[in-house]
Amino acid sequence: MKTKTISRKELYELVWSKPLTTLANEFSYSDNGLRKICIKHNIPLPKAGYWSKVKYNKKVAKLPLPKLKGEVVPIELSIREEDEDNGIHSNSIRAIVRKEIEQDRKLNFTIPDKLSNPHVLIRKTKMDLKNKKPREWCNGQGLLIPSQGVLNISVSKKSLSRALKIMDRLVKLLEKRGHKIEVGSTTKVIIDGESVKIRLKEMVKRVVVKENKWGHTELIPSGILSIRADAQWFSEQMWKESSDKPLEGQLLKILISLETRAMESKARTLEFEERNRIRKEERLKEMEAEKRKVDEQDKTIELFQIASRWKKAMDLRESIEAVKNQAVKSDSMTKENLDWIQWATNKANWMDPIVNIEDEILGSYGGDLEFLK
């Protein structure tokens, strides 16, 4: 197994350049294994939802790399060689998917020399592309660009027959596995409810075209085919053929990766939904606690207001009794005194929260009456 020695700073830049699940395809570790290595070397990681924000060009914050005291030890990582799953735990999603697909005897990965009994989507795509003219501009220069409602295959006329055979086999393999293909503005594979966008595209290369003294560059089809997949939570993954590894021989690896990505995407979606549910429950508890606190404060304020009203009523009654006793003592009780005593007693009863009578002029008692302050 090959290894690569990198610095702590280099690993920090790596984990902030692409998701751990993508890096796990490059190194012989699971994404959780890489996470443990980062934690060991005090390397901060993007928080949940970071790559989703990056995907949709939303503002994100990159945590700085903390400084370490003492000697910084280089980090040695094992590199996964192509077509190897070394380092993948036997209980990992990828290992389980790989074992299941390899043991599925119904699957036929052989691509025939001629397109025979093509899938209905292949027939529609072939009809759509055969009379089209190659694009003359942009990155798709020289390629046939499909219409909506057919498979997303962008290749040159020369590569069309081969591309259709590869995609025909891939579509049939996906359906054998119980997955559904949807075509519209994009081509999607629905795997256990998760949507994965796929497309087959011919790579283009830049060539120099000389005209008299002057020259310019053009993009032309290279004949090299690739299949690309894009799932929620993950950056685009591409399988590109080489001289010794044609795309026809990579269908097993592609099928494994498509199912793995869909399952990992579903797991992340469920994890995201669970975190949201927990956050909502916590927020609801916080709001309920805050409401209970406000209610308790209001009840306490009301209690103090009642006590204050009662104290004022008692003070009034004490004052009224003093006036009454003085009038009796001095033998100066008059009808005017008696009327005042009755009026003042009514006001004390109006003020008293226990008696709590309604005043014929002022109505019910309101503690916020300005003239009482």
Q: What is the pLDDT of residue 139?
A: 65
pLDDT in tens, 360-372: 888 888 755 666 6
CA atoms within 13 A on the CB side of 76: 3
318 shares a domain with 221: no
Q: pLDDT tens across 115-149, in order?
A: 989 999 999 999 999 889 988 776 667 899 999 99
Q: What is the pLDDT of residue 56?
A: 80
| Torsion angle (degrees, nearest 10) of CA 149, 154, 156, 161 | -60
What pLDDT score does 91 carry?
Answer: 57
Do 312 and 285 share a structural domain? Answer: no
Mean pLDDT of 164-173: 96
Tokens encoding 166: 């590869």
| Number of domains observed in the structure of the chain | 3
User: Is 0.75 topped by the overall pTM?
Assistant: no
- Give me the chain's average pLDDT, please: 87
From the number of C-beta atoms within 10 Å of its C-beta (0-12, 13-18, 19+), residue 301 rates as: exposed
pLDDT of amino acid 255: 95
294/251 same-domain check = no
Same structural domain for residues 145 and 83?
no
Burial of 262 (0-12, 13-18, 19+ CB in 10 A): buried
Of 259, 289, 319, which residue constitutes the final position of a domain? 289
> Which tens digits make up the pLDDT trace of 16-61?
998 887 887 777 777 778 888 898 888 999 988 888 888 788 888 8
For residue 181, give the nearest of 166, 164, 163, 168 by alpha carbon: 168
Work out the average pLDDT over 9-20. 90
Q: What percent of the chain has pLDDT over 70?
A: 92
Average pLDDT over residues 162-184: 96
Q: Quick one: 270 and 144 in the same domain?
A: yes
CA distance 74 to 94: 29
pLDDT score at 141: 78
Residue 223 has pLDDT above 80, yes or no: yes
Dihedrals φ, ψ of 141, to 5°? -55, 130
Is 342 in contact with 334 (CB distance < 8 Å)?
A: no
Residues 99, 246, single domain; the answer is yes
**367: which 2 tokens?**
């503690």
**Which of residues 58 and 152 earns the better pLDDT score?**
152
Q: Minimum mean pLDDT among 55-59, 95-99, 111-115, 210-214: which range?
A: 210-214
Pick from 60-69, 195-204, 205-214, 222-231: least confident: 205-214
Pick from 234, 239, 237: nearest CA to 250: 239
State the Cα–Cα distance between residues 181 and 160, nearest whole angstrom.
20
The pLDDT of 237-252, averaged and rounded, is 91
- Label residue 193 by pLDDT band (50, 70, 90): very high
The residue from 249, 271, 289 where one domain ends is 289
Together in a domain, 48 and 113: no
Q: Which has more pLDDT, 38 or 94? A: 38
Alpha carbons within 13 A on the beta-carbon side of 74: 6
Neighbours of 143 (CB within 10 A): 26
Q: Which of 107, 55, 91, 296 is nearest to 46 (CA)?
A: 55
DSSP-derived letter for residue 363 is B
pLDDT digits (tens, 9 = 90+) for 197-211: 999 999 988 877 776
Q: pLDDT value at position 93? A: 78
Domain that holds residue 275: 90-289
Distance, in Å, from the CA atom of 212 to the CA atom of 214, rounded to the nearest integer, reads 6
pLDDT at 291 over 60: yes
- Is residue 153 within 8 A of residue 231, CB to CB? The reply is no
Cβ-count burial 307-340 (b if 16+ within 10 Å, e if not) = eebeebbeebbeebeeebeebeeeeeeeeeeeee
Q: Are residues 248 and 163 in the same domain?
A: yes
**The pLDDT value given to residue 89:** 53
Residue where one domain finishes, among candidates 289, 317, 347: 289
Contact 209, 217 (CB under 8 A): yes
Q: In whole angstroms, what is the distance from residue 367 CA to residue 252 CA?
A: 81
